[in-house]
């Protein structure tokens, strides 16, 4: 039998789902035509995976850190830090970074769209972010607040003390859709979708000072955004306006962090699209192969990613690739579109990736960083399907002819925790 020369972890963002009436009671994965994933399922073993743990509906960064062998509740520096590092922001040891969303609020301040309808361009976000930075919103507190747009409605805010008086990342979120669980983020469905008051979650004056500064930023930024020329133009065009900011997952850059190689005794690479993935790659010491966000040519973009991963497997013993597609229609509650996205992933990524690949030499794991059920329009704590094939893996028991949530629940791998996945992939004969 050939020796396993490389391993690949394929993360399909938000793949997991629940039965949906628009698909005759099937999940999008169950309803999708996925011949390439199904062939892998028939050759390998299935199971389910808790990305973090039951009771936590993780954000992508927490899910990915767990899948790569880390405990995000204890070890994550915070999504704000990961986004900032991935966007090229230089963070000092006294700085605090938070993930930022531009959002749309009504006249009462209630959030009516946490992503500005997904229609805010990066150029528009950049103009808003530059104006917020130039406004020096908490300069009167001796704190510099820098805003940076990343992709679309997304961005980061970084706080730096200009004088004596430290800051702390031990504060809660203003974003009502996410709560802190340890050092990780947990998705929630708020009863009242208003920006929350940020509070210290750590003791000491540093956390109190940071919370005070962030609350002032929330209030002062609203006036600036309401009158910004970008929003005036969007309103005239009948578009949603970006008149509020939502902040979450504060943290500071760690002085040290265990690399992927030091933890698993194996070098690796990451094929990345978004800043948070680049931040994780940099923090873990993975070789960052940046392909950028998906453009309008989805088929071409997926084929390109398949080619990039195949090339990486020639010299990287471990490759992680993150494909964003299924998450967005999950948030939008569009089960037929999520099914179609899964079919495109199978046709244009899995097909070219598997073509001519010697499965005896490559171990493949396919899973998700979290579930995004269309019926919930958000992340959930449901287990996600897991498929492991190639290398020394052979079917055990009944052969599965479909990769889906149902067949995964009946699979021979049983249920595992996300942080146990890489050690399982490194074993000679993966098992639960």
Q: Are 369 and 63 in contact (CB under 8 A)?
A: yes
Residue 351 is predicted with a pLDDT of 98
Q: Are strands 362-367 and 384-390 parallel, antiparallel or unpaired?
A: antiparallel
pLDDT at 182 over 50: yes
For the structural domain made of 6-77+255-426, what CATH number should be given? 3.40.720.10
Residue 227 is predicted with a pLDDT of 95
Which of 348, 357, 432, 347 lies closest to 391, judged by CA? 357
Q: Average pLDDT for residues 216-238, to the nearest whole number?
A: 97
Express each pLDDT in 338-389 by its tens digit.
999 999 999 999 999 999 999 999 999 999 999 999 999 999 999 999 999 9
Express each pLDDT in 386-410 by its tens digit.
999 999 998 887 788 999 999 999 9
pTM (predicted TM-score)? 0.93
Q: What is the mean pLDDT of the chain?
A: 94
Q: Are strands 244-251 and 96-105 parallel, antiparallel or unpaired?
A: antiparallel
pLDDT at 314 over 70: yes
Residue 396 is predicted with a pLDDT of 84
pLDDT at 296 over 70: yes
Chain mean position to CA 268: 19
In 3-state terms, what secondary structure has residue 161? Answer: strand
pLDDT at 231 over 70: yes
Q: Average pLDDT for residues 239-249, to the nearest whole number?
A: 97
Q: State what percent of residues in the chain have pLDDT above 70.
A: 98
CA distance 214 to 246: 10
* Residue 92, C-beta contacts closer than 8 angstroms, at least 6 positions apart: 160, 253
Q: What are phi and psi of 370, to 5 degrees?
A: -175, 165
Residue 365 is predicted with a pLDDT of 97
Residue 306 is predicted with a pLDDT of 98
Q: Average pLDDT for residues 308-320, to the nearest whole number?
A: 96
Output the CA torsion sign for 180, 185, 190, 192.
positive
Residue 61 is predicted with a pLDDT of 94
Residue spans of the domains in the chain: they are 6-77+255-426, 81-251
Question: If pLDDT is split at 50, 70 and 90, which confidence band does 429 have?
Answer: very low
CA distance 205 to 317: 46
Q: Are 167 and 95 in contact (CB under 8 A)?
A: yes
**What are the E-state strand segments in 167-291?**
178-181, 184-187, 244-251, 269-272, 287-290
Residue 380 is predicted with a pLDDT of 95
Which of 137, 142, 138, 100 lies closest to 120, judged by CA? 100
10-19, 104-113, 180-189: range with lowest mean pLDDT: 180-189
Residue 395 is predicted with a pLDDT of 87
Residue 204 is predicted with a pLDDT of 87
pLDDT at 1 over 60: no
Output the CA torsion sign for 242, 247, 249, 254.
positive
Q: Are 357 and 12 in contact (CB under 8 A)?
A: no
Placement of tokens 């962030």 in the chain: 214
Residue 202 is predicted with a pLDDT of 75
Other CB atoms within a 10 A radius of the CB of residue 339 amount to 25
pLDDT at 335 over 70: yes
Q: What are phi and psi of 16, to 5 degrees?
A: -60, 150
pLDDT at 428 over 80: no
CA distance 383 to 367: 10
Q: Are 77 and 24 in contact (CB under 8 A)?
A: no
Strand partners, 386: 47
Residue 343 is predicted with a pLDDT of 98
Express each pLDDT in 78-106 by its tens digit.
999 999 999 999 999 999 999 999 999 99
């Amino acid at each position: 039998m050939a020796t396993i020369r490389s391993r690949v972890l394929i993360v399909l963002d938000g793949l997991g789902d629940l039965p949906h009436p628009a698909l005759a009671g099937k999940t999008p994965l169950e309803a999708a035509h996925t011949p390439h994933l199904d062939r892998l399922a028939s050759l390998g073993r299935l199971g389910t995976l808790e990305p973090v743990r039951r009771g936590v509906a993780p954000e992508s960064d927490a899910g990915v850190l767990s899948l790569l062998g880390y405990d995000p509740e204890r070890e994550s520096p915070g999504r704000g830090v990961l986004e900032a590092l991935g966007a090229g922001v230089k963070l000092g040891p006294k700085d605090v970074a938070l993930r930022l969303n531009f959002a749309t609020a009504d006249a009462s301040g209630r959030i009516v769209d946490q992503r500005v309808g997904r229609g805010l361009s990066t150029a528009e976000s950049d103009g808003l972010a530059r104006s917020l930075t130039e406004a020096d919103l908490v300069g009167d507190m001796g704190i510099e607040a820098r805003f940076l747009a990343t992709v679309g409605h997304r961005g980061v805010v970084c706080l730096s003390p200009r004088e004596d008086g430290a800051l702390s990342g031990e504060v809660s979120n203003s974003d009502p859709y996410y709560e802190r669980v340890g050092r990780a983020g947990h998705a929630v469905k708020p009863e009242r979708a208003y920006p929350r008051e940020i509070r210290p979650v750590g003791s000491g004056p540093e956390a109190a000072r940071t919370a005070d500064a962030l609350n002032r930023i929330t209030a002062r930024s609203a006036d600036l955004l309401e009158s910004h020329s970008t929003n005036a133009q969007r309103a005239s065009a009948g578009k949603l306006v970006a008149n509020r900011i939502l902040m979450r997952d504060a943290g500071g850059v760690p002085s040290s962090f265990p690399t992927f190689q030091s933890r698993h005794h194996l070098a690796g690479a990451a094929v990345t699209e978004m800043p948070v993935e680049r931040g994780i790659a940099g923090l873990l010491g993975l070789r960052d192969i940046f392909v950028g966000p998906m453009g309008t040519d989805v088929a071409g973009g997926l084929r390109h990613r398949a080619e990039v991963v195949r090339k990486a497997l020639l010299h990287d013993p471990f490759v992680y690739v993150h494909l964003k597609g299924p998450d967005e229609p999950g948030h939008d509650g569009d089960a037929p579109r999520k099914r179609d996205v899964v079919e495109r992933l199978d046709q244009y990524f899995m097909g070219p990736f598997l073509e001519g690949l010697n499965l005896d030499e490559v171990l493949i794991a396919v899973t998700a960083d979290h579930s995004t059920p269309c019926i919930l329009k958000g992340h959930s704590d449901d287990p996600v399907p897991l498929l492991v094939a190639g290398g020394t893996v052979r079917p055990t028991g009944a052969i599965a002819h479909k990769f889906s949530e149902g067949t995964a629940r009946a699979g021979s791998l049983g249920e595992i925790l996300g942080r146990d996945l890489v050690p399982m992939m490194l074993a000679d004969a993966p098992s639960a």
